């Protein structure tokens, strides 16, 4: 039987329960899932690559077929290097679809053997993204339902260190 490796790329700044829901679903569909942080020099993430890797590893430790990595450059090149045949992309709303659809077509043109699979998170996470979580946390909003406890601790500490928002 053929073993299928899937890659779930993203910024994960920070990882949310919506991301984890997608990863849980993917881990049940594929033999191996690589959650990989996309390093983009045009973006200015709040957390460093190493901090995001740490938060992902701690948040995903219960998934035995999931590993965490990072990449720079084209995802299709990374996928070839890892012998992955599937890219996982999360869709929260119709607004995500157009961009993700365009990216999947470009990736297919660059690597015809790479298939993009769209997974939708549980409906309780459809409005959730990392930017909203960061903003809520910076305004002392309640974020317990949106991110793992460890990630919350790291986010609060980072915001205090950077003197972002209304800290108590």
User: φ and ψ at 13, to 5 degrees?
Assistant: -120, 70
Per-residue buried b or exposed e for 77-100, using 16+ beta carbons within 10 Å of the residue's own CB: ebbeebebbbbbbbbbeeebeeee
Contact 71, 84 (CB under 8 A): no
Residue whose tokens read 């946390």: 137
Can you tell me which residue has the tokens 């409906």? 123
Show which residues are catalytic.
19, 43, 92, 130
Give the C-alpha distances (Å, rounded to integers) separating 147 from 77, 91, 150, 155. 30, 18, 8, 10
Neighbours of 5 (CB within 10 A): 17
Contacts of 50 (CB under 8 A, 6+ apart): none
What does the alpha-carbon distance between residue 115 and residue 150 come to, in Å, rounded to a whole number? 33
């Amino acid at each position: 039987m053929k073993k299928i490796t899937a890659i779930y790329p993203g910024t994960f700044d920070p990882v949310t329960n919506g991301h984890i829901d997608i990863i849980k679903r993917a881990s049940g569909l594929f033999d191996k899932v690589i959650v990989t942080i996309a390093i983009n020099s045009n973006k200015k993430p709040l957390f460093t690559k190493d901090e995001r890797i740490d938060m992902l590893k701690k948040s995903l430790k219960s998934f035995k077929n999931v590993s965490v990595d990072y990449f720079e450059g084209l995802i299709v090149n990374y996928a070839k290097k890892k012998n992955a045949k599937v890219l996982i992309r999360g869709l929260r709303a119709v607004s995500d679809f157009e961009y993700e659809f365009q990216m999947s077509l470009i990736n297919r043109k660059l690597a015809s053997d790479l298939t993009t699979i769209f997974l939708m998170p549980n409906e309780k996470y459809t409005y959730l993204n990392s930017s909203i979580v960061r903003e809520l946390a910076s305004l002392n909003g309640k974020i317990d339902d949106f991110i793992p406890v460890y990630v919350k601790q790291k986010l609060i500490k980072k915001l205090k260190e950077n003197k972002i928002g209304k800290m108590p």
